């Protein structure tokens, strides 16, 4: 999910501005999401729960269902289909085909690397979207803070990811080039110096704002405190790559489910007369149980079923072109989710979206 800023006059608010409420935002968008990632890691590290079991639970319960959340407000919404129909169906066909085609062209390694890079960027953009919503809610649009927030968040969020292959053999093996030890040291030290410098500048600005009596936008600071440290732990934890990917993403999944449910309820559940125009989306979002049941069915189709179709395990790591083609086909909804999600949350250009998100 990605949102962009809206130019509005700066105002000082006595109370923090939340997207839904302080308690709900903390539970789903900041502290709760980070806690889920820490719990995932702790179950593997201290209680020795099998990683494959943890990943399977994450994939079925959290990840596939969050992909359905996107479907619930696009393909199931007759208004969205009327507005974006050709683009939606062409996107679906493209991503169903691209995986098998790349496997048949023996480009599976590039497909996996591209998926990992796009996935992390997708997670960053969602956090960035929440950052911009909190800035909008709190009228936090001082030009200095706007630029500094962007630079600080990008640098702090991406540093552990960009240096991960230097600390993990599986991640290093995904790179299309070998890692030269001396160059790696210079590379990491340079990035670390820049991150420390940017962080010091950011902290100095916060001290300056306190001295000037300016608000610190506590919802934004809580988002930073939740989203940034968890990545440093996971990317240096020694957890296998698949587990790190799942733990990092579970935070994103939890955020997304709650935001989409908030959007869906505001769009489909407020005006019964108007809701009839939206088709199946209205039925699915009329009860939370219907939504959960539909999301569970979607997860079964795209995650559980492939496990019975594939032989000798799941994933591009397995030997055999048959498995790779099947897996890449069933993995298409993930790539489709990245693509569609990057286009449907453009707050700046969509007044209806702002309305449904209470912005």
Structure tokens of 74?
A: 């696009």
- Residues 229 and 129 occupy one common structural domain: yes
At residue 285, the pLDDT reads 84
Residue 9 pLDDT grade (very low, low, confident, very high; cuts 50, 70, 90): very low
**Higher-scoring residue by pLDDT: 171, 304:** 171
- Residues 86 and 231 occupy one common structural domain: yes
- Residues 127 and 168 occupy one common structural domain: no
pLDDT surpasses 70 at 179: yes
At residue 250, the pLDDT reads 96
Give the Cα separation of 208 and 86 in Å (integer). 51
Counting the structural domains of the chain, the total is 2
pLDDT (average), residues 42-70: 93
Q: Residues 256, 63: contact at Cβ < 8 Å? A: no
pLDDT surpasses 80 at 282: yes
Of 197, 216, 235, the domain-final residue: 216
- Residues 159 and 131 occupy one common structural domain: no
Indicate the pTM of the whole model: 0.88
pLDDT (average), residues 226-254: 95
- Residues 275 and 311 occupy one common structural domain: yes
At residue 271, the pLDDT reads 67
Q: Give me the domain span that covers residue 28.
A: 22-140+217-356
- Residues 37 and 130 occupy one common structural domain: yes
pLDDT surpasses 80 at 220: yes
The DSSP code for 349 is G
- Percentage of the residues of the chain whose pLDDT score is greater than 70: 89
At residue 284, the pLDDT reads 87
- Residues 132 and 145 occupy one common structural domain: no
The answer to whether residue 235 is domain-embedded is yes
- Residues 106 and 243 occupy one common structural domain: yes
State the chain's mean pLDDT as an integer.
88
- Percentage of the residues of the chain whose pLDDT score is greater than 90: 62
pLDDT surpasses 80 at 227: yes
Q: Residues 60, 299: contact at Cβ < 8 Å? A: yes
At residue 268, the pLDDT reads 86
Residue 106 pLDDT grade (very low, low, confident, very high; cuts 50, 70, 90): confident
Residue 333 pLDDT grade (very low, low, confident, very high; cuts 50, 70, 90): confident
The answer to whether residue 198 is domain-embedded is yes
pLDDT in tens, 124-167: 999 999 999 999 999 999 999 999 999 999 999 999 999 999 99
At residue 102, the pLDDT reads 87
- Residues 226 and 275 occupy one common structural domain: yes
pLDDT in tens, 252-277: 999 999 999 999 988 887 666 666 77
pLDDT (average), residues 306-315: 57
The DSSP code for 178 is P
**Higher-scoring residue by pLDDT: 313, 69:** 69
pLDDT (average), residues 217-228: 97
Structure tokens of 206?
A: 């916060």
If DSSP codes are grouped into helix, strand and coil, which group holds residue 161? helix
Of 216, 240, 275, the domain-final residue: 216
Give the Cα separation of 5 and 216 in Å (integer). 18
At residue 310, the pLDDT reads 60
Residue 198, C-beta contacts closer than 8 angstroms, at least 6 positions apart: 151, 152, 155, 156
Give the Cα separation of 199 and 203 in Å (integer). 6
Of 201, 216, 231, the domain-final residue: 216
Closest to 228 in 3D by CA, of 172, 174, 149: 149
């Amino acid at each position: 999910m990605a949102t962009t800023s809206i130019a509005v006059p700066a105002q000082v608010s006595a109370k923090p501005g939340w997207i839904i409420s302080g308690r709900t935002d903390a539970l789903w968008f900041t502290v709760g999401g980070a806690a889920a990632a820490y719990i995932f890691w702790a179950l593997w590290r201290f209680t020795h729960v099998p990683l494959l079991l943890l990943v399977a639970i994450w994939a079925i319960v959290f990840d596939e269902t969050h992909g359905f959340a996107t479907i619930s407000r696009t393909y199931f919404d007759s208004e969205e289909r009327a507005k974006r129909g050709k683009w939606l169906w062409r996107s679906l066909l493209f991503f169903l085909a691209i995986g098998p085609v790349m496997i048949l062209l023996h480009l599976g390694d590039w497909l996996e690397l591209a998926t990992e890079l796009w996935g992390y960027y997708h997670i960053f953009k969602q956090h960035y979207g929440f950052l911009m919503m909190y800035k909008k809610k709190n009228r936090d649009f001082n030009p200095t803070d706007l630029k500094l927030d962007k630079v600080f968040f990008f640098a702090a969020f991406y540093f552990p990811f960009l240096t991960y292959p230097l600390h993990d053999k599986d991640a290093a093996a995904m790179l299309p080039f070998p890692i030269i030890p001396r160059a790696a040291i210079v590379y990491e030290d340079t990035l670390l110096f820049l991150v420390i410098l940017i962080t010091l500048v950011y902290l100095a600005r916060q001290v300056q704002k306190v001295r000037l009596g300016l608000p610190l936008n506590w919802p934004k600071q809580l988002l930073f405190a939740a989203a940034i440290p968890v990545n440093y732990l996971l990317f240096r934890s020694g957890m296998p790559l698949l587990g790190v990917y799942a733990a990092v993403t579970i935070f994103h999944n939890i955020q997304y489910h709650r935001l989409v449910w908030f959007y869906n309820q505001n769009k489909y559940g407020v005006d019964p007369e108007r809701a009839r125009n939206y088709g199946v989306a209205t039925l699915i979002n009329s009860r939370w149980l219907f939504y959960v049941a539909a999301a569970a069915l979607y997860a079964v189709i795209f995650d559980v079923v492939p496990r019975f179709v594939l032989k000798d395990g799941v994933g591009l790591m397995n030997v055999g072109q048959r498995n790779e083609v099947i897996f890449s086909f069933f993995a298409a909804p993930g790539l489709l989710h990245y693509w569609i999600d990057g286009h449907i949350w453009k707050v700046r250009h969509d007044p209806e979206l702002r309305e449904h998100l209470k912005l």
